[in-house]
Structure 1
């Protein structure tokens, strides 16, 4: 193909990705990110002929997309809460559903109040960095069991000039005797039995340590439930993201472990129960 217009290049990419039953919109996403364009920019320029370098890069990107690799890993960057984050195969790609969890925390928190907040299983640092950006007066901590993931999170914090206390370790073991006003976590929650219905790109490219958990995906919630009270101040809150079929189990786990706590379940934009807020008494 000679140098096409942006419109024809995208049409070509869409057809190739559709044949492999891959996400067609990944081609548009990667093109916009490479060009640093908005969708409005593309509308104005889609009939323009692509420069040689841009066309060569796009062909290479589409070839990699056809292997199933997510666009964010190809670019080495993902967006979360309007923040650009470095991502690598050592970190999960941040999801829009997790933005809803952060938004719920922010809605529940006075912006001017200085709080101690911990993000457990921070990965790329997405949750911790979004919170620190929105609540600059708060003292934000982040932990992860993965040294490689923490290195990415620290790089993101430095790039965004946001001060976070990073700790390596398994769940709350990373923070010893520290106490917090709020703990938030999006831990691994997928059961191995669900592998056959997962997207190819997720199960083949994203870090398995950050995806899967034992006991039908509930093991880490059970572990947190047994240890979290010692790390929360009076009236402290725990915010959790979980799988769309796990709400009843999450409620049961935390009712048994923290009988005095108030438990609230919230739905995502698709109407699935995907988030919980567990609040200790004063």
Structure 2
């Protein structure tokens, strides 16, 4: 692979040693057409920490230090991946969620800030740290149950996902975070999905909810690198998972138990109507930090 040096905004031949400062400048310039300046800088800092093992302050102090040949090779490989629109989290293998560093891969969705808001809602609803039984359906990286277990160590937390790769990664994350969680590989759409589950006080899910017709309008770093099974639903039945999980929750939630969903911004009213039709009480819709309908909570009568 042809290697380049970056001097300001322009690539030049590989002549001089690459310093930490020039590497960062070259990286942000190279990806500037893909991201705005702030996001490019954030990506640059994440990648340079991954390559050098140094935090931002140490990189400032040692800005004129040369990258080693191994670090330079990793830099070039990572830059090529970024230009192919691979997410920075897949390059570093890590992502942050609710103050926790988690492993990620192409087997799971990269945790989103909107999902942090869902966790925040749940925790604020129950400030007494209850010793309850909880289930997260479609757990992916395990970000939701791990964050909740950190705050509710006495809770008995279960997590389900159809993907063996997701279950494997989530199990590793739970081990690294010292958060014992009961993981179950199961398709929630299966008629047998509830058989292994106990009675529950809370069920949470951020299920697939993007209609297939929206795929073409999405960024390549999402559609090419994140698992489609965790993203898309048939155009003919966009509420497929909400309907199934609502029925499972009627079977497994104790009276007064709560169901929390992350939702597609366009289907807030539809999800609320579905839950009300199934007999849930106190159905509430909440917006995210961007003012979009994003979360629904309901109570089993």
Aligned partner of 2:289 among 259, 269, 278: 269
Question: How far is the alpha carbon of 1:18 from its aligned partner?
Answer: 2.5
How far, CA to CA, are the matches of 1:36 and 1:135 in structure 2?
A: 32
Question: How far is the alpha carbon of 1:262 from its aligned partner?
Answer: 0.9
Contact 1:143 1:166 in 2 (8 A): yes
* Structure having the larger proportion of residues in helix: 1
RMSD of aligned Cα (Å) = 2.0
Structure 1 counterpart of 2:8: none
Question: How far is the alpha carbon of 1:57 from its aligned partner?
Answer: 2.2
How far, CA to CA, are the matches of 1:160 and 1:21 in structure 2?
A: 32
How far, CA to CA, are the matches of 1:162 and 1:116 in structure 2?
A: 14
Q: 1:196 to 1:37 in 2, by over 3 A?
A: same
Aligned partner of 1:174 among 193, 204, 223: 193
Structure 2 counterpart of 1:90: 107
Structure 2 counterpart of 1:251: 272
Contact 2:194 2:248 in 1 (8 A): no
1:206 aligns with 2:240: no
TM-score between the two structures when normalised by the length of structure 1: 0.91
How far, CA to CA, are the matches of 2:49 and 2:200 in structure 1?
A: 40
SS where residue 18 of structure 1 aligns?
coil
Question: How far is the alpha carbon of 1:239 from its aligned partner?
Answer: 0.7
Structure 1 counterpart of 2:168: 151
Structure 2: state its 5+ residue gaps: 6-15
Contact 1:266 1:274 in 2 (8 A): yes
Quick check: 147-156 or 168-177, which moved more?
A: 168-177
Question: How far is the alpha carbon of 1:7 from its aligned partner?
Answer: 3.2
How far, CA to CA, are the matches of 2:219 and 2:151 in structure 1?
A: 32
Contact 1:182 1:237 in 2 (8 A): yes
Q: 1:109 to 1:16 in 2, by over 3 A?
A: same
How far, CA to CA, are the matches of 1:103 and 1:34 in structure 2?
A: 32
SS where residue 205 of structure 1 aligns?
coil
Count of residues in Structure 1 that have an aligned counterpart in Structure 2: 279
* Deviation digits for residues 113-140 of structure 1 (CA, Å, limit 9, x no counterpart): 2011100011111111111111001000
Q: 1:20 to 1:252 in 2, by over 3 A?
A: same
Question: How far is the alpha carbon of 1:37 from its aligned partner?
Answer: 4.5
SS where residue 154 of structure 1 aligns?
helix
Structure 1: state its 5+ residue gaps: none
